[in-house]
Structure 1
Amino acid sequence: MRQPRGWIALAWLVLSGDADAHDWYTGKKDPVMQSDCCGNKDCHPIDPREVKETKDGYYVRSPRPAYMNEPQEPEWFIPRERAQASPDDRYHLCEHLMTFYRTIIPHMKFEAYQRYRWRCFFVPKGTSSIEKGR
């Protein structure tokens, strides 16, 4: 009898810990577009080696192929004014999967395809574009 309770307790701890890790993204909005950053686990930390800062913004290597079943875009450009300060001094990216449609000529049928798009981007407070208090 004790074994099922132990598994339930372990599952509860794992799931509640995951919710806390996701919690600080909740309620955040893109500073320019004013769209919500987070859907359901859309945000995650990324390796700083995947980010290149320029005077105009950031080039972020896409963590996965942008198109499903198509070649990966090498990187996304994120304008400086859309970057926000992260509370843990790490880079974070919020992305979501969108569905698009294209026409197949000559049949004039539509084919659906999916593509990842970035939604919000968080940078360490020590980066040149983010003031310490923001």
Structure 2
Amino acid sequence: MAQFQTTIALMWLVLASDANAHDWYTGKTDPVLHYDCCGNKDCHPIDSSHVRMTKDGYFVRMPRPTYMNDPQQGEWFIPRERVQAAPDDRYHICERLVTFYRTIMPHMKFEAYRRFRWTCFFAPRGTSSIAQTH
């Protein structure tokens, strides 16, 4: 019984520390569009090998498709003015799964499909393409 209680206590500690590790996403908004970045379920760190910096912003290659059931890897361009400073030395992205509709010819029926869209992007503070705020 004591071992079971110890296991439960350790699980609570792990879950609590994981939740606190990403609390900084809460309350963040896109600096241009002012959309909420959202929170723990939509924001996560990404590997730097998936990020390519340019003078105008970043290209971010996601390790999974942008469309559901699409075998290709998606790549998003994130303009410099929408990049925010991360509190650590990692890249982070916030994304949502959005439903779109398209027309199927010749029957003029609508088909729903889902696609990931990024909402916020964070880069390490030392990165030169973070927009400067005055």
TM bucket by the smaller chain?
Answer: 0.7 to 0.9
**Quick check: 1:10 aligned with 2:10?**
yes
Q: After TM superposition, list the pairs within 5 Å mapping 1:116-127 onto structure 2.
A: 116-127=116-127
Q: How many aligned residue pairs are there?
A: 134
Q: TM-score of the superposition, structure 2-length normalised?
A: 0.88
In structure 2, relative to structure 1, the CA distance for the partners of 1:133 and 1:99 (3 Å cut) is: closer
Gaps of at least 5 residues in structure 1 are none
Q: Within 5 Å, give how 1:21-60 maps onto structure 2.
A: 21-60=21-60
Alignment of 1:81-100 (within 5 A): 81-100=81-100
* 1: CA distance, partners of 2:55 / 2:79: 9
Give identity over the alignment, percent. 71
* RMSD of aligned residue pairs (Cα, Å): 2.1
TM-score by length of 1: 0.88
Aligned-pair distance for 1:109?
2.3
Structure 1 counterpart of 2:62, one-letter code = S
| Alignment of structure 1 residues 123-134 onto 2, 5 Å | 123-130=123-130
1:24 match: secondary structure: helix
1:69 aligns with 2:44: no
Structure 2: 5+ residue stretches without partners: none
